[in-house]
Structures are given as C-alpha cells and as structure tokens.
Amino acid sequence: MYHVSNFEIYFFYLQKTVDKTTTWKSIPENTTLVTAYLDIGTFSKGYPHRRRSKTFYFQSAKAFKYILNALIVYTNSDLFRNYMLEIRRDLLSVTKVLLIDSMSIPSFQYRKQIQEIFQLHSYPKFYPHTSNPMYSCVTHAKFDFLLNATEENTFKSKYFMWLDVGYFSSKVPLKMFHLSKPPSFNETKIAASQIVSNLTQALELDPNTIFKKKKSIAAAGLLFGERSRVMYFSKLYQRGFRYFLSQNLTNSDQQVIYAIYCDKGNRILKPKVELQYYRAPGVPYYHFLGTKLMKISLLS
C-alpha cells in the first residue's frame, strides 16, 4: 500500500466563502481531475535553442480557474501552490493542493539510471525527452500521483482523470465548464486520444523503435477511467516503466504506454486493462478527447 507520507506532503485545504461547488455536486458521475507541476527549471523543448520556462505552465494553469470538477494538484513549488489556491478561490472546497519534495517521488528514484541511458553515445537525443532526466522523471511521476490520488479518493469520485497542467495551453477557456465521462465509454478500459491513423499497423512496432524514435500511439495529456481501473493502470505503468528501463529503454510516458500495448509489450507485460481510443475524424488530434468532454456550465 502506497502512503501519502512517502510524498512528504503538506495538505493545504481551505474553506471558502463564495461557492460554485453546487454545480460540481450536481454533475452526474462526477470525476476528480489530477494534475501536477514540478519546477525543474528552464529546459529545451523540441530543439536545444527553444526554451520553456515556468511562465508557460503558470499561464496554462489559468484554465483550472474555469473547471468545475474536483481537482487534486501536486507541486514542489510554493509559488505554484499559492497560484493554484488563488485561481481556484471560488472552488476551494473541491480543491486539494499538495506541496511535495520531488526527490521523494518514486519515479525520481530512477533519475540516475535514466541519465546513464541518455548519456549512451548511441542513444538518440530528443529535447527534452531523452536529454533531460528530470523531465523524463516528471512524465513518469504522473502515475505515482494518479495512484496516490485514487487510493486516497478525497472527493469520493467514481471516475478519475489525469489532465496535464499545460493541456489547455493553446486556448484557455473563459467560461465555466466541467469535463464529463467520454461517450460510449467502456468501464473496464482507460480512455485516451488516439494519435496514429492505423492502429493495427502501429501496434506491430517493437519497443526498441518506439523508445529510440520517440513514437506515440496515444496522447497521455488526458487519461480517463473508473477509479479501480486507474489504480491498476497506474501500477501497470510503473511495472512497464521499470521493465523497459531494465532493457536500457526509456523516454517519456507516451513511449512507455505505447511499448506496454504494442504486440511485443502486450505479450511480455500482459496488461489486464485495455485502452479505449478516441480519434478525431481525419487527422489524429492530440487534444481531441479533452475538447469532446468539455461541457459548458450555466454559471458562465
């Protein structure tokens, strides 16, 4: 059993005077959102000269001001903790912000091993996915957080959703909304956006190629599932991450997920929960599922 104390968490949970949470309580099949921001400094994104700083994440996080769902936030930044409490001031009774020591997160215990793989002369360089071990650890940590959040289940939710803090970076909504259960959702699966055109053909790719060519099959910025399935999926991810790391293969969370569900990974890891893919008509779209699940509130 994984305990909150392992994260060295301080729980900031405040009561509020202005309340919009009656809408949260009336949402059918309510869903708790889980997100995180870990400050690892400014890093290269895409190319060595293209830099991403904390400003991007603070600006993107403005979207959470408008989301009526219950929200659990993990961060190692006092500034970000205070910022989230401020923008969620009308929704504090369904907001939990946890201040953590990033080096106590399980995924960060593999930082040195990840770094050694990245330093191999033959290992391809993608910025920051295979150049910055701290960034890699951040992407794997989301499953530590998801497991912790589902085990605690602070808001007694049936469903849980991982939502990257930068998910709505391209367009911050300016109306109150909630994120609902996907249409025709299979309760035994985990929902994700499909980002390949030919799923059958994509699953034939081997893990070595997936990791070393930074291939993805599903967008990991938004993942949705029933609580017990999300708990299992988080543990499956951790098991897959450690297995591929033992094979000197690592990258970001999307490559781990792909490698687990490709034909070869499936035979090795035997996942007991499947992905339910949602794909935009025409060209696959990373944010398709998130836009499909947005329901504008009458509070807007």
Average pLDDT over residues 117-131: 96
Which residues share a beta bridge with 222?
163
Average pLDDT over residues 96-111: 97
Highest mean pLDDT among 14-23, 38-47, 244-253: 244-253
**Amino acid at position 71, single letter:** L
**Is the backbone peptide bond immediately before 128 cis, with ω within 30 degrees of 0?**
yes
What SS3 state is found at 78? Answer: helix
| Other CB atoms within 10 Å distance of the CB of residue 112 | 9
If one counts the domains in the chain, the total is 1
Dist. CA 27–CA 6, nearest whole Å: 33
Check residue 3 and give its pLDDT. 41
Check residue 18 and give its pLDDT. 42
Average pLDDT over residues 185-195: 97
88: domain CATH number is 3.90.550
Burial class (CB in 10 A: 0-12, 13-18, 19+), 108: buried
More confident residue, 20 or 85: 85
Residue numbers of the domain that contains 161: 4-296
Check residue 12 and give its pLDDT. 43
Check residue 93 and give its pLDDT. 93
| Other CB atoms within 10 Å distance of the CB of residue 39 | 17
Checking if the pLDDT of 272 tops 60, the result is yes
Check residue 115 and give its pLDDT. 98
Q: Could you tell me what percent of the chain has a pLDDT over 90?
A: 78
pTM, entire model: 0.91
pLDDT tens across 6-16, in order? 444 444 444 33
Checking if the pLDDT of 300 tops 80, the result is no
Check residue 30 and give its pLDDT. 86
Check residue 83 and give its pLDDT. 98
